[in-house]
Structure 1
Amino acid sequence: MNSTKPTKAPKPSFTGYEVFVIAILAFLQFTVILDFMVMSPLGAMLMPQLKISPSQFGWAVSVYAFSACVSGMLAAGFADKFDRKKLLIFFYIGFLIGTALCAIANTYHFLLAARIVTGLFGGVIGSVGMAIITDLFTIERRGRVMGFVQMAFGVSQVLGLPIGLVLANHFGWHAPFWMIAGVGLIPGIIIALYMKPVTAHLKLQHDRNPFEHLGKTVANPNYLLAFLTTTLLATGGFMLMPFGSAFSIHNLGLTQEDLPVLYGVSGLFSFVFGPLAGFLSDKVGKYKVFVTGTVLTMIVVAIYTNLGVTPLATVIAINVMMFAGIMARMVSSTALISAIPQPNDRGAFMSINSSVQQLSGGLAAALAGMVISEGPGGKLQHYSTLGIIVMASMTGCMIMMYFINKQVGHKFGKQAIAPQPAKEMEEAFLIE
């Protein structure tokens, strides 16, 4: 008589604690991304109220990136020396203070100073979060994790930017920063109360001092290609984004009241594009998804930067397609680059990589401010020139990412990076 063994139920992709970590890091990323992105749609309001030029506004955006670059480099040597949870809380508190300073700024120079403070702390948060993700999740699942965390980008578009713009339209441009500072307290408190320490990397440290650790990480030839690739990756977004709202109003013919609809509808699709890009990255290959997203983004950029007065529905459709390409690039490239560092270098690598990203992004924003000029009626000129520069950088990224992909494939063909055991973390995660 034949007997059949009962089949075991398949293990869930993520444990309960892992889901918590993904959700809380995504929530935290939402506040940081929103703080940075809100400057772009406020541009059309800030420039006339503070009586500043496009070049000055470009600097108001880029100083955040420059200060984030400096703090990232300074923090890199210490990033693997402490519990990542404590580092996350420390820099997040500073970020909230900087955002509150932006909310009370009343002059251009005060705003510049406030953006510098915000960047000093906010710029490191992303790298610490990335190090935590790389510690806790294997490369086979990391695409999906990145996809969910990058949904913060979509949430900021759907909820954050429209609400922030409505508040700005009714109460002034300071209001969105008050909103971010208030909402930002929630993930900070939850992390402090419920996230367990992330300390497995401390057992792997051999460098005696932070400066030695920083020097070895910077000098590692296996990491240089990733840093160079990140430089080009940052160029595209930082060049077009700061002047997106001004271009939409003065060139495309939209109104200030149209912007919440544009950002909200476009961001809504990011809820789908983020997880889909993560799933496809793990399923069909991260480099394939990156190339597909890059080609799509280049096509849309070529169309978008050459538009004249355009109906709102058409602008929304073009932005949706652009977000599809951007999310595919963001998720797949982040997952690939996260696989480059060794476990004992992850914190330093992520901090340096973040610094490189912020520096190149800041330079790109400043360069964009110098390329762009104001014509009659506030119309932006030479925006199509930025599109050409962005497409050139994306082409270079595809080539460099090809070699990153080969490096990751070679590495994981020989060894696997063991993350901190999820089971141990879940057992330690006790909510009274």
Structure 2
Amino acid sequence: MDFRVFILAISTITVGLVELIVGGILPVIADDLNVSIGTAGQLITVYALVYAVAGPVLLSLTAKIERKKLYLITMSIFLLGNVMTFFSPTFSLVMIARVITSMSAALLIVLSLTITARIVEAPQRAKALGYIYMGISSSLVLGVPLGILITNAFGWRMVFIGIAVLSIGSFILISVFLQKIPTGEVQPLSAQLKALGNKKIVFAHFATMFMLAGHYTVYAYFTPFLETNLQLNQYWISICYFLFGIAAVSGGAFGGGLASWIGSRKSILVVLGTFAISLFVLPYTTFSFPFFIVFMMIWGGLSWALAPPLQDYIIETDPVSSDIHQSFNNSALQVGIAIGSAIGGAVLSHTDSVNSTATVGGAVVVIGFLCAVISLSMGRNKAKLVQEKSVDI
């Protein structure tokens, strides 16, 4: 694998840490800034919303800038956003800093994906993208415990100084090892927005959104699930999250490897179908803790396995507009997380059964599976039409 892919993956770990790292330290932040925990929680909500919108918009606005130069400029802004967070004395200034880091992070992540897709050969593309998503997933998984650890030792503001230091390291690595990346064919913003008229890819985005929505319908309320079904204390719950995290981190690499083995199209259906089944079956695996742990890690690994084959499929389907579609797909992921958390909360409030989140989550993933089937069917129909035309000629 191209060494530059690992450099970009390391960079995505640094960038991805910012999103959820405040999740475990919200009470400390709220107390220091004299706001309620609910208000402090908006630091996560606003980040996700800005991230979802900023990625596609900024990618379009910066389409004519050479990719390495753009990456380094954006990383510098990301660095400044974290430094600003450290020095901000009020909640309002911290929120402004979060918006800055969210916008820059959204562009950095999609640049990591698009650059990776360009610097590797097509047969290795899905596997390479898997390493990038391995970096993204590891940052999301490791962010919460890392934030708690640093806060307990040095205070919450040092969390962002730590990320700033890591940003400097990423800046240096990108400067040294990444060559200039041409912009490629640049489309006007209007043409890029018209790319959303490609129903085949729109349904692929829906597949991503509904899979993450189904996943977070359960995962956002995983603690009460463990407490209710397995009567675990905080120590064992932490171990479950740690093991789940290990599995999730490997999910991106697994999805990329699977796509290289059986192809992106088959991988999409295999991952979505297996993931839906895993959610439906999850409540019935708690009769044995060791068995549940094994099954939970399968679920965790599948949770991030869809992205590499789906991104590869998007690039194959519309190479000209693939950059903007990769950004839209990353936004769909963020929207799915938000929707899933809301669905899980609604399920708990109406049923008072934490097991219902798994059933509803599985049903939501089935919707994603159907969206993937529709998208892939359109792809086959189009390929068949082209083949028929060539035969006529």
Query: What's the TM-score, normalizing by structure 1?
Result: 0.72
In the alignment, does 2:333 pair up with 1:333? no
Q: For residue 351 of structure 1, what is the aligned residue in structure 2?
A: 327
Structure 1 residue aligned with 2:55, among 53, 61, 72? 72
The separation in 2 between residues aligned to 1:327 and 1:27, in whole angstroms, is 17
Q: For residue 10 of structure 1, what is the aligned residue in structure 2?
A: none
Q: Is the 8 A contact 2:78 2:101 kept in 1?
A: yes
Q: For residue 301 of structure 2, what is the aligned residue in structure 1?
A: 324
The separation in 2 between residues aligned to 1:107 and 1:337, in whole angstroms, is 42
Q: For residue 6 of structure 1, what is the aligned residue in structure 2?
A: none
Structure 1 residue aligned with 2:161, among 178, 181, 185? 178
Compared CA separation, residues 150 and 246, structure 1 to 2 (3 A): same
The separation in 1 between residues aligned to 2:288 and 2:16, in whole angstroms, is 28
Compared CA separation, residues 261 and 360, structure 1 to 2 (3 A): closer
Higher mean alpha-carbon deviation, 107-116 vs 399-408, is at: 107-116
Gaps of 5+ in 2: 388-393
Q: For residue 361 of structure 2, what is the aligned residue in structure 1?
A: 390
Compared CA separation, residues 76 and 329, structure 1 to 2 (3 A): same
Compared CA separation, residues 367 and 171, structure 1 to 2 (3 A): farther
In the alignment, does 2:66 pair up with 1:83? yes
Compared CA separation, residues 355 and 292, structure 1 to 2 (3 A): closer
Deviation digits for residues 270-304 of structure 1, max 9, x if unmatched? 56544333222211233433333334433443465
In the alignment, does 2:79 pair up with 1:96? yes
- Fraction of identical pairs, as percent: 20
RMSD: 4.1
Q: Is the 8 A contact 2:204 2:310 kept in 1?
A: no
Deviation digits for residues 149-191 of structure 1, max 9, x if unmatched? 2222464378655443322344444443333232232112211
Q: Secondary structure at the match of 1:80?
A: coil
Query: What's the TM-score, normalizing by structure 2?
Result: 0.78
Q: Is the 8 A contact 2:16 2:140 kept in 1?
A: no
Q: For residue 268 of structure 2, what is the aligned residue in structure 1?
A: 290
Structure 2 counterpart of 1:235, one-letter code: A
Structure 2 counterpart of 1:340, one-letter code: T
Q: Is the 8 A contact 1:76 1:352 kept in 2?
A: no
Q: Secondary structure at the match of 1:196?
A: coil
Q: For residue 190 of structure 2, what is the aligned residue in structure 1?
A: 212
Structure 2 residue aligned with 1:275, among 238, 253, 272? 253
Q: Is the 8 A contact 1:79 1:348 kept in 2?
A: no
Q: For residue 209 of structure 2, what is the aligned residue in structure 1?
A: 231
The separation in 1 between residues aligned to 2:341 and 2:85, in whole angstroms, is 19
The separation in 1 between residues aligned to 2:215 and 2:23, in whole angstroms, is 11
Q: CA deviation at 1:196?
A: 0.9
Deviation digits for residues 85-106 of structure 1, max 9, x if unmatched? 2222233333333334444567
The separation in 1 between residues aligned to 2:76 and 2:135, in whole angstroms, is 19
Q: Secondary structure at the match of 2:37?
A: coil
Structure 2 counterpart of 1:348, one-letter code: I
Q: Is the 8 A contact 1:230 1:356 kept in 2?
A: yes
Q: CA deviation at 1:263?
A: 4.0
Higher mean alpha-carbon deviation, 229-238 vs 121-130, is at: 229-238
The separation in 2 between residues aligned to 1:250 and 1:185, in whole angstroms, is 44
Aligned pairs, how many? 384
Q: Is the 8 A contact 2:211 2:272 kept in 1?
A: no
Q: For residue 265 of structure 1, what is the aligned residue in structure 2?
A: 243
Structure 2 counterpart of 1:115, one-letter code: R
Q: Secondary structure at the match of 2:259?
A: helix
Q: Is the 8 A contact 2:205 2:332 kept in 1?
A: yes
Q: Secondary structure at the match of 1:328?
A: coil
Deviation digits for residues 189-239 of structure 1, max 9, x if unmatched? 2112331111161xx33x5xx433333333445543333334324423454
Q: CA deviation at 1:21?
A: 1.7
The separation in 2 between residues aligned to 1:70 and 1:323, in whole angstroms, is 27
Structure 2 residue aligned with 1:399, among 356, 360, 370? 370
Q: Is the 8 A contact 2:113 2:132 kept in 1?
A: no
The separation in 1 between residues aligned to 2:196 and 2:281, in whole angstroms, is 39
